[in-house]
Amino acid sequence: MATTQERIANSPEERLPPRVVAWLFGVAGSAVALFAWTVLSRLLAHGGGVINRLPGPLAVVRELVQYAGKDLAHDLLASLHVFAIGWIVGAASAALLGLVLGRAKHLGNVFLPIVEAMRPVSSIAWVPLSIVWFGFGLTSKVFLVGLAVFLVVIVYAVDGSRRVPHDLERTATMLGMNGWQRFRSVVLPGTLSEVLIGSRVALMSGWGTVIVAELVAADSGLGAHLIGVEQSYDVPAVMATMICFAVTGFAMNAAFTFAERRLLPWRHDRERQDR
């Protein structure tokens, strides 16, 4: 009789908390993936053809350490500098314009279709034009990142300014608030919380735009380094730079998700489903 009971109690699932089980499986999965990568790089090392230049994980890590000791901080700061300016400018202008177009009904009817028409032309398609207009310097990249962030955040800003619940507005009127007070204490907070979420969603598209802009312009930042090592056929260094991009994107996303959870705890659950 006790056998089934015992078996259940002794299975690792039952003895360990679910978090630990998930963690163990995750580590195992990552180890398998790294092992497969290593084996693949060994197999391809002596083969012919195009893919014979696949370095193993160790070579990439070695390259990463070497890069970290030299120019990584400098390049990363250059990229982050572009990103931060563009992101702030884009999010701020989107918040402002979204608020105006969302609240002023007629203006919205006139100009929102234009914003909608611009959205399929992603910021990436603007890269050549931006280089014609602003050259290879900081301005053109800031413009591109700003545009990328703007096109994402404006949707959230318009949405947020319109989605203020009607009974909340009516309650505010009943409590004797005038138009400005209603705007300041009801509409504005609602819009800004949406803008904050939009700014987090825009992080990745802004960061992706930084990558493309730097790859095309190739004058400074991580993207320029990536093109440089590509042109010297240094595959391990290319992969190391890709990891730098990924880690930075991940860190920004994690920091923002954390901040959002602290600032807007009530939005967190819904956002997870939206995403």
Q: Which is nearer to another protein, 45 or 246 (CB)?
A: 246
Does residue number 245 form part of the binding site for another protein (CB under 8 A)? yes
Which of residues 39, 68, 73, 121 is near another protein by CB under 8 A? 121
Least distance CB 183 / another protein (angstroms): 24
Does residue number 208 form part of the binding site for another protein (CB under 8 A)? yes
**Chain-centre distance for alpha carbon 107:** 31
Q: Which is nearer to another protein, 101 or 164 (CB)?
A: 101
# chain residues binding another protein, by CB under 8 A:
57
Which residue from 29, 54, 40 is spatially nearest to 236, judged by alpha carbons?
54
64 vs 71: CA distance, rounded Å: 11
10 vs 102: CA distance, rounded Å: 59
Q: Point out which span in 2-10, 86-94, 126-134, 194-202 binds another protein (CB under 8 A).
A: 126-134
Which of residues 85, 88, 100, 212 is near another protein by CB under 8 A? 212
172 vs 205: CA distance, rounded Å: 37
Does residue number 266 form part of the binding site for another protein (CB under 8 A)? no
- x/- binding map, residues 57-96, to another protein, per CB under 8 A? ----------------------------------------
Does residue number 230 form part of the binding site for another protein (CB under 8 A)? yes
State the residue for tokens 């500098």. Answer: 81
Sequence-ordered list of residues with C-beta below 8 angstroms from that of 42, at least 6 positions apart, any chain: 56
Q: Which is nearer to another protein, 188 or 227 (CB)?
A: 227
Contact footprint for another protein (CB under 8 A) = 21-22, 25-30, 32-33, 50-51, 53, 106, 109-111, 113-114, 117-118, 120-122, 124-129, 131-133, 204, 207-208, 211-212, 215-216, 226-227, 229-230, 233, 235, 238-239, 241-243, 245-247, 249-250, 253
